[in-house]
Amino acid sequence: MTILDKIIKDKLKEVELKKSLIPVSQLEASVLFGRKCISLAENIKNGSGIIAEHKRRSPSKSVINQDLNVQEVAKGYESAGVSGMSVLTDGKYFGGSLEDLLYARASANIPILRKEFMVDPYQVIEAKAYGADAILLIAAVLTEKQMIHLANKAKELGMEVLLEVHNEEELQKSLRVKADMLGVNNRNLKTFEVSIENSKKLAPLIPEHFVKVSESGISDPAVIAELKESGYKGFLIGENFMRTENPGKAAKKFIAELKSMV
């Protein structure tokens, strides 16, 4: 059993437990549920393209940064000029929570992506109730039918969808999904090795109506210049900023370097 299999097995149990405790009607009564979402896709196209992440730890790297509070990180990212913020909400494997999403939403007026292992429409409703503007769908763990169902639910609630693929097979089963952004993860989920060649290889196969996003292993503005040549507009950066004492400051420096290259 891979780490991904374990995560999904635990996630299915977690969602069933939450459903038994907090009914959908309670989520829909949230103050944030009726809020109009900010478009992450438009922000990516018209801004720096950087989606900066809040991530405390991961199964592959263990602890990344446990010392920061999400409010400060969100404010820092907003003032740095990011196009959006990704907030990990998985507790067991990544040390995140829905409260992180809530505090990030209260602290910054930028598009927020709920980064989670989505397996049930309940989680989409949850994302909206806690202030997310977009959700992540991972093709490696979902069938085409599941992805279509979850994406449609997000659209119904006014949210956008970032659909993540790792290879050509996953890309092919994602083409009928109503996603706004298509992300190519440069991390091999079996070996955890990272190579941006994965983004370059899949770029020509991604239909033009998707905003192309490259994810993982981006730590140098020069790499973004390369990826832009392949048609990428969005760049998800997690550990590079979170490994520093001040992620907002690190993001600001990175974006300034990026602008000086254009």
Catalytic residues, which ones?
53, 55, 115, 164, 185, 215-216
Q: Are 51 and 40 in contact (CB under 8 A)?
A: yes
Instruction: Tell me which residue of 194, 192, 197, 198 sits closest to 170, measured CA to CA.
Output: 198
Q: How far is CA 227 from CA 73, 107, 135, 162, 201, in A?
A: 26, 31, 23, 18, 11
The residue type of 237 is: I
Q: Are 146 and 11 in contact (CB under 8 A)?
A: no
Q: Dihedrals φ, ψ of 145, to 5°?
A: -60, -45
Instruction: Tell me which residue of 187, 164, 155 sits closest to 39, measured CA to CA.
Output: 155
Chain centroid offset of residue 203 CA: 19
Distance CA 168, CA 163 (A): 13
Distance CA 191, CA 114 (A): 25
Residue with tokens 């990516």: 44
Q: How many residues does the chain have?
A: 262
Distance CA 225, CA 215 (A): 14
DSSP, residue by residue, 76-97: HHHHHT-SEEEEE--STTT---
